[in-house]
Structure 1
């Protein structure tokens, strides 16, 4: 399917036109690439506090975009504004956030810092790398990598 189009289920997917994008060669083997890295999948609200004082913990966060359609996430536990605010209450540096102009994440950070909301110091002096991108010929937006070390 064309980039930016999402299939909610297999029936929809198999009813769409497909375009040949199959690799004709294998991907290079990356054995050992993640040796020594511990990957934990757990709810952020319970995981982050367990490691809050560990200087080796780096938060890499890619939450669903707030105030946007989240139908493609199909999670039993909808990630809405309350879940976002709970997440932000436990975030501390070092962190990396993936975001875009499809959400108001950067505006939120600026508001927290400017109005000195609770925990604003943890977010102040963040840095941002932006990239103009597009999903297809008509859907253009800015991708952001927001970080603080």
Structure 2
């Protein structure tokens, strides 16, 4: 049996590790033989937890951000991290990396990319950039101020993380149409409203229209829906319900809130809403 994952094996902006316990308990109220469709798969953590709680369920992981590629590259990422530890050995932890060392780091990153054909820049960002900052390519990384937060140990290989999951990689609307059935539970963790989605493999911002398009999928469905207090989407739906004839998709649902810390300057509340 594979290990039980309480967090994603690699850094991922917005992964729901703080909600694993609440999510697991809520899942027990849902059918064990349902099809669970993770429309915004992200790090795959929701899919993994779902399969662990309901082993007989069919779980669809929409790996739109190609997280599986990052998982496959863990051995190569560890090789690069060894080099970064050596290059930053003389730099104090959590402090700005001097320009001369930064040049050496960039040279090592480019050489690694040339050799292996791939660099996991999101994981690299967590070791070189200020908390909450991400680069997705060499050009972006070279422009950023670097800090010595290089992880001290190798990343454990994610053995079994994708076991039992059906991995697809398509637009969420297409996945929704393919797996539209009465015995489906949707897992919806879209990028938060007006959030920079660069680290999600997209160069677009998640606008209000995109948010409202997702809410259309909730009507008449069983679901788990994640948002934050930054979006004010719950208040918006309540306003629509009381001032128009539009039904509130969150009516009769259950809500759980957890505080999430990005860095010492930035905190917000994560929200999980589910409906059977």
User: Shorter-normalised TM-score: what interval?
Assistant: 0.7 to 0.9
* Alignment correspondent of 1:19: 148
SS in 2 for 1:58: strand
Output the CA distance in 2 between the equivalents of 1:30 and 1:116. 50
Output the CA distance in 2 between the equivalents of 1:84 and 1:78. 11
The 1:65–1:4 alpha-carbon spacing in structure 2 relative to 1, beyond 3 Å, is same
What are the Cα deviations for residues 119-140 of structure 1, in whole angstroms up to 9, with x where unaligned? 53x5321112111122111111
Does 1:84 pair with 2:211? yes
TM-score, structure 2 normalization: 0.44
The 1:20–1:3 alpha-carbon spacing in structure 2 relative to 1, beyond 3 Å, is closer
Structure-to-structure mapping, 1:102-121, within 5 angstroms: 102-115=230-243, 117-120=245-248
Structure 1, gaps ≥5 residues long: none
The 1:77–1:136 alpha-carbon spacing in structure 2 relative to 1, beyond 3 Å, is closer
Superposed displacement of residue 25, structure 1: 5.1
Output the CA distance in 1 between the equivalents of 2:229 and 2:260. 11
Does the CA contact (< 8 Å) of 2:197 and 2:205 recur in 1? no
* Alignment correspondent of 1:98: 226
**Greater percentage in helix:** 2
SS in 2 for 1:102: coil
Does the CA contact (< 8 Å) of 1:45 and 1:86 recur in 2? no
Question: Which structure has the higher relative contact order (CA within 8 Å, separation 6+)?
Answer: 1
Larger radius of gyration: 2
Output the CA distance in 1 between the equivalents of 2:254 and 2:234. 10
Output the CA distance in 2 between the equivalents of 1:141 and 1:111. 22
SS in 1 for 2:274: strand
What are the Cα deviations for residues 101-146 of structure 1, in whole angstroms up to 9, with x where unaligned? 12122223433554574453x5321112111122111111111122
Does the CA contact (< 8 Å) of 1:44 and 1:87 recur in 2? no
Does 1:136 pair with 2:263? yes
* Alignment correspondent of 1:148: 275
Does the CA contact (< 8 Å) of 2:196 and 2:204 recur in 1? no
TM-score, structure 1 normalization: 0.72
SS in 1 for 2:260: strand
Q: CA RMSD in A?
A: 3.0
